Each structure stands twice: as C-alpha cells, then as structure tokens.
Structure 1
Amino acid sequence: MGSGGAVLSEYVLVVYLLWLTILAGRACSQEAQVPCFFIFGDSLVDNGNNNGILTLARANYRPYGIDFPQGTTGRFTNGRTYVDVLAQLLGFPNYIPPYARTRGSALVRGANFASGASGIRDETGNNLGDHMSMNQQVANFGRAVQQMSRYFRGDFNALNSYLSKCIFYSGMGSNDYLNNYFMPDFYSTGSDYTINAFAAALLQDYSRQLTQLYNFGARKVVVTAVGQIGCIPYQLARYNSNNSSSRCNEDINKAIILFNSGLRKMVDRFNKGQLPAANFVFLDSYQSTKDLVLNARSYGFEVVDKGCCGVGRNNGQITCLPLQQACDDRRKYLFWDAFHPTEVANIVLAKKSYTSKSHSYAYPINIQQLAML
C-alpha cells in the first residue's frame, strides 16, 4: 500500500476509535444532552489541575475529597464540585477530567481547565504561588482545539459545528477581589483603582477572554457571577469581632455587586448581536448563595458561618490542613472550609441553575434549556 493509503487507513482507524469512544460514553446510563463540556474557572471548580504545580492553592490531600468516590483528586471540597454535579445533570457518564491529564481523542468529550487561585487578571493569586490565569486557560483551550482538529481531518468548519453544540462554563472574578483588590499588602490595585474602575477593568478583560472562547468555537456559554464572598468564613474570621460573628464584609459585597451587574449587561450584549449565534447564560451566584444562607433550614443547613474543616475563628482563619479532622455531619454545613461550599451546597446550586425558571438564578434561560438549543 502506498504512503497515501497508509495515511488514509490511519485516519479511518482514528475516526472509528473516536466515535467508538463517544458512542460507548453515550451508551452508559443516559445519553449526554450535549457532546462535550468545557470548564474554566478557579478553585470552586478546579478538579486537579493545580496538583502538579508549585502553589499553596492545592487540595490533593485528605480530608479534601473525603466523600468523593475517587478520593482525594485535587477538588477543593469534600465531594463533588458544582460542575461535577452539572455534568451528571447533563447526562455525562463520567466526570469531566482535568486538562492537565487529558490529551488526544479524550478532549472531544470535554476538559476542565480551571485552576485554584486564578483570576481574570494574570497577577491575581500570585500571593499563593503558581496557577493558570484565565488568559492561560483560554490559551490552553486554543491548544486543545488544535489537537481536536486532527480528529476532524483539519476541517475547522466541522469542528466548529461540533463545538457549537457543547456547553462551556466560566466562573471567574472571586480571586480578583479576594487575592488581589482587597489584599493591599500584596497588590496595589486597591489604591490604583476605585471599585467602579476596577470592575470596569475586569469586565473589559473578561469580555476579551470570553470573545476568544467564542472565536475558538464556543456558542453555548454559561458565565457565573461572583458569590456573596463578603460572607464566607474567611471574611467573617478576618473582619468581625467576637461580638458580631454574623456580620459580613459589606465593602467586598458592594464591589462584587458592581462587577456582577456589569457581567449581566455583558451577557445581554453578547446575546443581542455582539457575538452572532451565541447563547450566553448568566448565573446569579450572589443571589443564589444569599438565598442558601437566608433559607438555610429549608435546605437542611444548620451551620452557615463556619467551615466544616479549618482553623481559628469560624474555621476560617486558615484553610483545612492535611489530615485534619473535619466535622462529622457535613450535610449540615454550607461551607466545607474557609472559602468553598460543601458537596451538598454544590448539589443545591447546580440543580437550581439547571432547572430554575427564576431569572434570579439563571438568565435569560436555564442550563437545561441552553443544552436543548
């Protein structure tokens, strides 16, 4: 057989194996509602990308993962993250793997590019060590697109058509405030920018990054607002006296509300013609996390101001240490550690954003409706 025939045979074999992989995945449990799922973000959704880099922002030690079927994987919670639950709701038979361990044909089912401590700005999180910023995550996705193109014989039109059916999730911004703007001993942004100017600068960068994802083929995109981080155990421990342990840091919350408002307007612009054929969904994580606190009892939570695992006031002054004893009944805690929700909280948040008819959670449609487009 000539060299051309050998190349063709190899191509046919690769395509055949690729579709066998996809069909096998669909045959498990239920058929996935979308062909692939790509994830960008920080420690709220990182599932192991930081394990092999020099950073304090890592969770590949017990008791992290204590309730996860595969044990300690690098997830910053006791069990499943928000996107783990969302992947299950979307019908994926397996959890979306971290990009650090995903190459070749496996990429066509999706990958998680998230990195603990990362932000919209490159310098965000440097106080904790190495990480992949949003710019780096987008660049990594660009490399993944190049790899995936091999399985579409370099036909980028076919690849773009495929990617247009996939769900993309991006959750960024928390660390740009926690590990940048409101950390004056390490960063100058707090004195260089007013809260309005900083929100505007973040949104300008974020708009460019999301547009790059669009240019790489993303069409169904979920973007999440920043949660009520002025009320997490870390902030309660730092800013509250012993006599007012339930008082939130409203300076941070006010800054977050500015960013979130601008992000929702950005979604409107994208959907109304700025990015043709794009469908963006805005998740109001600020409202949903606030709801979990205000209506804690109805969700089964008894403790909303302390981490299940941690050190110091509110278990929030130092995050969960290696081999530390966590609380026994984790289902009653909203927070796993100083920063991150428990698995139970992630389940509630994912289910609400997936099916909620209220624009207070998902706007202009929910994730289930986005998947069906």
Structure 2
Amino acid sequence: MTNFKVFLVFSFIANHAFFTKVDCEKSLVPALYVFGDSGFDNGNNNNLNTIAKVNTYPYGIDFNNQSTGRFTNGKTYADLIAIKLRLPLPPPYLGLSGSEGYQVTTGINYASGACGILNDSRVGECLSLDKQIEYFTSSVTNDLPKLFGRKDYMRQHLSKSIYLIGIGSNDYSLNYFKNESMKPEEFADYLIEQLSRKIKTLYDLGARKFIVGSVNQLGCSPRVFCNETMNQIVKPYSEKLQTKTQHLQKQLSGSIFISINSFNFFNEIKNAPKKYGFTNISKPCYEEGITLCANRKEYYFWDKHGHTSEAALKIYADDSFSGSKLCFPMNIEKLALSDLR
C-alpha cells in the first residue's frame, strides 16, 4: 500500500512537471524538440567555428533587442510554435552546460545554420542532421534518464512530445545547385530517402509525433527574386515529401506525421502581399551598409540571404498551428491533441 501511495505522489509530480509551463499554464505536449537549419537555429552556431553567425545587431532587434543567434529580427518559427504549445522556448543544445542538459524537460533546439540533411551540405563548421540526432541521442541516453528514472516515464514523455524538423534548403543552395549531378526528381527522391532514414532513428529513440517542413521557393529571395527555373528544380521535394511522410506513418507503428508545404503557401503571399500586410516581398529589411527599413512588419524578407522576418514567420506559424492551408493531413494543434494509436 505504501509503495502504491509513493507511485501516486511521483506520478502527480511527474505529470505536473512535464505538462506545466513556468507560469502554471498547462502545455499541450510535454516538450518540443527542434531539428533544422538557420530557419530554426536559435544560437547553436554561436558556439561553432563558422561565418554563419548572426549574434550581432540588428539580428534580434525585436527579440528584446538581443542578438541571440536567431537568423531573423525576432522569434523563429520554432519559437512561435513553442509558444502556441504553451511551452518555454527550447534552448540551444550547444548553449547548455553539462549540468543543465538533464534539467531541461520541455524540449531542446538542435538546429544549426548553414547545414543540411546531407553531411557535405554545409558552410564551415555546423551541425548536420546526423550530428543533431547524435546530440539528441545523447540527451535520451544520458540526460533524460537522470530526470525520469523509470523507462516507462521517459517513454511516455518522448512519445507525447513533438519533433519539429525543418531542413533541406542548404542541400540545394550549397550542394545541388553547385554540381547538379542528378535530375531534380532523382535528387528529391535521394534527399527524402536520406531524411526518412534519420527520422526512423528518432522513431527508434521514442519519437512518435512529427512535423516535417518542405523546402521554400529558393528561387524567390532578395538575391534572385524570382527565378522560376530554380523553383521548379526544388518543387519536386515539396511534392514528394507529403507522400513520403504519410508512407512513414503507415510504416512506423504508432507514429503521426504532418507535412508543412511552405512552397505552395508562398504563392498566396506573393500573389496578394497586401492581404498579408506586406508592402515589400522582394527586398530585405536589413542589408549591411544600408539603413534598416522603417517598418519591419511590412517586409517579408529580413536579410539578403533570404531569411524571413518575424512578421512572415508569424503568418506561417498561425496557419500551420490552427489553420488549414499549410499542413497535411491536420494542423499542429490537432497533432498535439491527438491520441497515439
């Protein structure tokens, strides 16, 4: 009887700790684990030997005026989704000390700018998707057991958490466009197959709820706006990703996948920018040596490298979380509330 009471007390404490935000507002999921490139990086590259760093002004001007290493003026898409899930912002993995690693129960961000799905898609030192998953494996193997103790508690935490993956753009811009050794359809198939293998590793570690983002219209950026030849090369990846994620869901028992097609959604913004509050969707708000734009909320692009402004990211976050245009087959809110089979 005493053991049963102890179990009930621990169970209550665990549930309270894993599902409650700092301000005591109940979160929708235990944690958000983030994998990706500069679109999601929130400071990991600050700790690497790379030119792909943005820990200087005016990056972060709308993030309490702090240049944390986010490749935009404010919050990233991953930050915005964490907030909607009522979770604290996942800290960058490389920003955690050894003692902090096992104290984080609400998610970690492993994303790294200028890196890709393939290990040779990179600029300088960065965390490829393989490396990011290696660090997540360390979290699951070394850190979480110290907190959860029992394997079934940790397994429940991992299975109910959400895994946000947004990577692949650099595999085109830093890899494919430099040699084009395959046909676009073949490269898309190859890239998605590599991504699928890495997702299966996450699944084997306990992940069950996945959000997988497509590659944006890389032909539309401040540097080359708007090169439709480039867009058509990238397009097959977005088209095939949706089919592949649903195939993975059938293949991996108990998993739930949603895909985010930002490639198609950008067409809506491009065709009716004023509807979404933009007066400029071709030039960056910030460019070195040029005065910062007057109204950052009216610019789709933040910098000349094609990183989007917080205003644009909020549009994507709002629709993907509770809307119906970006995500398939359901939005993120429904994913968070879904019961695993």
For the criterion TM > 0.5, the same-fold answer is yes
> What is the deviation of 1:292?
1.8
Secondary structure of the structure 2 residue equivalent to 1:280:
strand
Equivalence map 1:1-373=2 (5 Å): 19=14, 22=17, 26=21, 28=23, 30-69=25-64, 71-92=66-87, 94-102=88-96, 103-125=100-122, 128-146=123-141, 147-153=143-149, 155-182=150-177, 184=178, 188=179, 190=180, 192-236=181-225, 248-271=226-249, 273-310=250-287, 320=288, 325-338=291-304, 339-358=306-325, 361-373=326-338
Q: Which runs of 5+ in 2 are unaligned?
A: 1-6
Q: What is the RMSD computed on CA atoms of the aligned residues?
A: 2.1
Give the Cα–Cα distance (whole angstroms) in 2 for the partners of residues 263 and 334 of structure 1. 25
Give the Cα–Cα distance (whole angstroms) in 2 for the partners of residues 27 and 84 of structure 1. 16
Q: What amino acid maps onto 2:206 in structure 1?
A: G
Secondary structure of the structure 1 residue equivalent to 2:108:
strand
- 1:285-320 CA deviation, whole Å, 9 max, x = no partner? 11122222222101110000011112xxxxxxxxx4
> What is the deviation of 1:349?
0.7
> What is the deviation of 1:70?
5.7
Could you tell me which residue of structure 2 aligns to residue 245 of structure 1?
none
Give the Cα–Cα distance (whole angstroms) in 2 for the partners of residues 21 and 71 of structure 1. 31
Alignment check: 8 A CA contact 2:222 2:282 kept: yes
> What is the deviation of 1:26?
2.6
> What is the deviation of 1:23?
6.8
Q: What amino acid maps onto 2:147 in structure 1?
A: Y
Give the Cα–Cα distance (whole angstroms) in 2 for the partners of residues 85 and 335 of structure 1. 17
> What is the deviation of 1:52?
1.5
Alignment check: 8 A CA contact 1:34 1:90 kept: yes
Give the Cα–Cα distance (whole angstroms) in 1 for the partners of residues 57 and 237 of structure 2. 34
Superposition TM-score, scaled by structure 1 size: 0.82
Q: Which runs of 5+ in 1 are unaligned?
A: 1-11, 237-247, 311-319
Alignment check: 8 A CA contact 2:63 2:73 kept: yes
Secondary structure of the structure 2 residue equivalent to 1:114:
coil
Q: What amino acid maps onto 1:265 in structure 2?
A: T
> What is the deviation of 1:20?
10
Give the Cα–Cα distance (whole angstroms) in 1 for the partners of residues 301 and 330 of structure 2. 28
Could you tell me which residue of structure 1 aligns to residue 4 of structure 2?
none
Alignment check: 8 A CA contact 1:224 1:283 kept: yes
Cα 1:108–1:29, aligned 2, differ >3 Å: closer, same or farther?
closer
> What is the deviation of 1:235?
2.4
> What is the deviation of 1:106?
3.1
Task: Calculate percent identity across the aligned residue pairs.
Answer: 34
Q: What amino acid maps onto 2:138 in structure 1?
A: R
Q: What amino acid maps onto 1:308 in structure 2?
A: C
Give the Cα–Cα distance (whole angstroms) in 2 for the partners of residues 20 and 268 of structure 1. 31
Secondary structure of the structure 2 residue equivalent to 1:69:
coil
- 1:35-57 CA deviation, whole Å, 9 max, x = no partner? 10000000011000000211111
Question: Larger radius of gyration, structure 1 or 2?
Answer: 1
> What is the deviation of 1:262?
1.5
> What is the deviation of 1:30?
2.4
Cα 1:168–1:24, aligned 2, differ >3 Å: closer, same or farther?
closer
Give the Cα–Cα distance (whole angstroms) in 1 for the partners of residues 327 and 94 of structure 2. 30
Alignment check: 8 A CA contact 1:138 1:213 kept: yes
Q: What amino acid maps onto 2:269 in structure 1?
A: L
